[in-house]
């Protein structure tokens, strides 16, 4: 497939969708699904603050008609990636503004049946395999208008398929860039029973001031006895609007470690859902958020226990400076038959200025009677005594604050099993910490 196909100047309307479909060369079923998604989009209204999920996130300054699907613009420099630096990769997929620009995979992995391609290429070259999983278990087109928009115009992203029992030892890297255009990338990861893989996914802009729109989707399907480590670092430019629906489905005796780094975007609204569907399934989610300026990052998480004897462990930590704001709303849902559930969620917030604000809303919805579910949340400011203590031992004020912030995140870092990811997140945060009084 020619990954240089242009979609320049395509607007988000019915006529634009037909023009878009004409450029794709996709199976008829994929085109029909796009049209059905657009019909769902037109039948819905934009979310507003009368809805519980949106009561703390203001969309009044967002206007879809200001964006168009366009050709690739300025490239994200190859050395901009922090997750892949110094890492021996087994493969990589790169896209800019929704256009796949490069894809590599170790021939030894390909020989074992591993597929790692831009998703738009995979739907053409492996139509039956992709159709079996794509938007079948882990993406709800009718969730809201952003989900429907994504399902109609998705482009970019990646498809990873790891056959039964295959172990991918070296990490696979995914880089999605926005250079002033739109990224509607969709990432679909399928691990068959007994498979193992590590995926490092990065969302980057070429400059701090870059603008654009991301309306994305992530589906992680972890088969019985499989093990997936998935890292997702969002570091868009400060004028990017970021909307995403992300879901993992974890089967019997499988495990998922999902690490989230959220540092970029003007406004972000992410729904992250993990569903444990087989007995003995286990998931751990580690969230690191750092905001500055007037950034607004909202993450809504759901730990859905649909099977017995499963464990979920969500820990999100956020540090906020300037006039930024975070919203974390978490829910542990336990179905009636999901006995012996062990669910935990926690959100801690460190306020680095008087104007920063963190909203934290943990929740439980439990229908079983033999469970252990706990949740908690804390918010507080940097203790001036700690700063004084560090300065008395030779630190400058800024160095002291940086050390305190890194120490605040250490609990999350200690849970991450990939050393390069721990270092990358720590360095990214340290660069952003400024002195305050």
426, containing H or E segment: helix 419-432
Task: Identify the helix (H) or strand (E) that includes residue 437.
Answer: none
**The pLDDT of residue 340:** 97
Q: With a cut of 80, say whether residue 27 has pLDDT above it.
A: yes
Please provide residue 187's backbone torsions phi and psi, each rounded to the nearest 5 degrees.
Answer: -110, 125
Is 93 part of a structural domain of the chain? yes
Residue 148, in any domain of the structure: yes
Backbone angles phi, psi at 315, to 5 degrees: -135, 115
The pLDDT confidence band at residue 436, using thresholds 50, 70 and 90, is low
For the stretch 214-233, pLDDT in tens is: 999 999 999 999 999 999 99
The one-character DSSP state at 90 is S
Closest CA to 404 of 431, 432, 428, 433: 433
Mean pLDDT over residues 248-272, rounded?
A: 97
Q: Is residue 378 part of a domain?
A: no
Give the confidence band of 5 by pLDDT, cuts at 50, 70, 90: very low
What is residue 46's DSSP assignment? P
86: alpha, beta or left, given left = phi > 0 and alpha = psi -120 to 50?
left
Asked whether residue 332 is domain-assigned, the answer is no
Confidence of residue 1 (pLDDT cuts 50, 70, 90): very low
Beta bridge partner(s), residue 173: 92, 200
Q: Is residue 97 part of a domain?
A: yes
- The domain of 38 spans 10-278
Each residue of 323-379: pLDDT tens digit? 999 999 999 999 999 999 999 999 999 999 999 999 999 999 999 999 999 999 999
User: Residue 6: pLDDT above 60?
Assistant: no
Partnered with residue 3 across adjacent β-strands are none
Specify the pLDDT at position 2. 40
Tokens of 424: 């990358």
Residue 395, in any domain of the structure: no
Please choose, from the candidates 314, 302, 367, 377, the residue with its C-alpha nearest in 3D space to the C-alpha of residue 341.
367
pLDDT tens digits for 91-121?
A: 999 988 888 888 999 999 999 999 999 999 9
The pLDDT score that the predictor gives to residue 243 is 98
Instruction: Report if residue 398 sits inside a domain.
Output: no
Considering its fold, how many domains does the chain have in total?
A: 1
Residue 308 DSSP one-character state? S
312 within some domain: no
User: What H or E segment, with its residue span, contains residue 187?
Assistant: strand 186-191
For 190-212, b where at least 16 C-beta lie within 10 A, e where not — what string?
A: bbbbbbbbbbbbbbbbbeeebbb
């Amino acid at each position: 497939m020619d990954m240089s196909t242009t979609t320049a100047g395509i607007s988000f309307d019915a006529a634009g969708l037909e023009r878009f479909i004409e450029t794709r060369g996709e199976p008829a079923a994929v085109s029909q699904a796009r049209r059905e998604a657009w019909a769902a989009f037109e039948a819905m209204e934009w979310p507003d603050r009368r809805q519980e999920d949106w009561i703390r996130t203001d969309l009044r300054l967002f206007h879809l008609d200001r964006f168009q699907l366009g050709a690739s613009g300025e490239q994200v420099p190859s050395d901009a990636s922090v997750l892949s630096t110094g890492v021996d990769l087994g493969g990589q997929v790169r896209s800019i503004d929704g256009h796949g620009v490069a894809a590599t995979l170790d021939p030894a992995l390909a020989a074992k049946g591993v597929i790692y391609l831009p998703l738009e290429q995979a739907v053409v070259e492996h139509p039956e395999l992709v159709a079996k999983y794509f938007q079948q278990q882990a993406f709800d087109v009718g969730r809201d208008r952003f989900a429907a928009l994504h399902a109609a115009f998705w482009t970019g992203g990646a498809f990873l398929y790891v056959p039964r029992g295959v172990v991918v030892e070296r990490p696979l890297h995914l880089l999605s860039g926005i250079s002033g255009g739109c990224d509607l990338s969709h990432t679909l990861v399928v691990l068959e029973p007994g498979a193992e893989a590590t995926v490092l996914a990065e969302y980057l802009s070429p400059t701090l001031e870059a603008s654009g729109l991301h309306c994305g989707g992530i589906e992680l399907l972890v088969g019985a006895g499989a093990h997936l480590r998935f890292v997702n670092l969002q570091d868009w430019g400060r004028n990017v609007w970021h909307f995403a629906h992300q879901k993992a489905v974890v089967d019997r005796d499988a495990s998922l470690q999902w690490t989230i780094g959220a540092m970029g975007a003007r406004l972000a609204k992410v729904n992250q859902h993990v569903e444990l569907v087989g007995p003995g399934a286990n998931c751990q989610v580690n969230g690191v958020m750092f905001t500055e300026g007037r950034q607004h990052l909202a993450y809504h998480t759901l730990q859905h226990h649909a099977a017995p004897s499963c464990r979920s462990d969500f820990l999100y930590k956020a540090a906020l400076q300037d006039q930024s704001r975070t919203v974390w709303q978490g829910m542990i849902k336990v179905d009636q038959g999901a006995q012996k559930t062990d669910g935990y969620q926690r959100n801690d917030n460190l306020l680095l200025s008087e104007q920063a604000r963190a909203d934290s809303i943990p929740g439980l919805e439990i229908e079983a009677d033999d469970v252990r579910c706990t949740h908690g949340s804390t918010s507080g400011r940097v203790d001036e005594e700690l700063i004084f203590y560090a300065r008395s031992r030779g630190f400058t004020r800024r160095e002291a604050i940086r050390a305190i912030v890194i120490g605040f995140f250490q609990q999350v870092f200690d849970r991450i099993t990939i050393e390069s990811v721990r270092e990358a997140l720590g360095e990214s945060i340290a660069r952003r910490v400024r002195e305050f009084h």
